[in-house]
Amino acid sequence: MASFKIVIVSDSIGETGEFVARAGLSQFNFEIDEKIITRYPHIKEKEDFDFVIRQHQNDNVIIVYTIIQPVLRKYVDSVLEENGITHVDIMGPIMTAIESKTEVTPFYEPGRVHILDEDYFKKIDAIEFAVKYDDGKDPSGLLKADIVLLGVSRTSKTPLSQYFAHKGYRVVNVPLVPEVSAPKELFEIDSNKIIGLKIDSEPLYRIRKERLSQLGLLDSANYGKSERILEELDYFDEIVGKLGCQTINVSNKAIEESANEIMKLLDI
């Protein structure tokens, strides 16, 4: 087998080009020397590409390139064609096809896929964070959170936490129960990122009665009594007053409606 090299050229970091090259190599039954692939990232100017060509003018090469900028990509195409160099344009054909079908002009911004990757991993991290610190499981999460939600039971704390987690925000929700002291960490963080989820007693009474019914429990359970509900709401008002945080009323509201109000308050 004749020896050859694969040269990756990119106006970003070249990770996509190398991934495709390695995927192609994996389909062949021969030993792959790690030195077979050379990557040239951040090729922004014609002179940068000319340097790459000079470096490999005596080599048996395949040039694999992911050039986003159309002017530079056209130059790369022409140089490779004129010199009879085997080459693979990864981004050009797919961008042209998508533009043709959609009639939408591309951004022409190198490295955008990595921005998308960062957003994805940020969202996954936020979702895992919300699960880990859901329902006041670990007060230490309050010190790391972007948003803190407070409320009595059945005020949509968990659904709202997940809603914001899917937008990449690290959220902790804390249940407020009269018999349990509010975590001290609540008073150590910026109150501007704390939102109290207020609810009127009547809708909360109905929600809890329905919940008790779903669980097969008696209506007489303390959880669903009007007196208990009023006690919890008084405690909520007490804690929110001490914190000086903002509140929204979630009574009879969909998750999206409550979330929009929170976003306005937090200016996010």
Strand duo 61-66 + 246-249: pairing: unpaired
3-state helix, strand, coil split of the chain in percent (to 5) is: 55, 15, 35
CA separation for the pair 150, 173 (Å, rounded): 6
CA separation for the pair 173, 241 (Å, rounded): 18
Please report, to the nearest 10 degrees, the dihedral formed by the alpha carbons of residues 248, 249, 253, 254 taken in order.
30
Strand duo 147-151 + 171-175: pairing: parallel
Task: Give SS3 for 146.
Answer: coil
Q: Assess contact for 49 and 43: CB atoms under 8 A.
A: yes
Question: Residues at the annotated binding site for ADP?
Answer: 151-158
Question: Residues at the annotated binding site?
Answer: 151-158
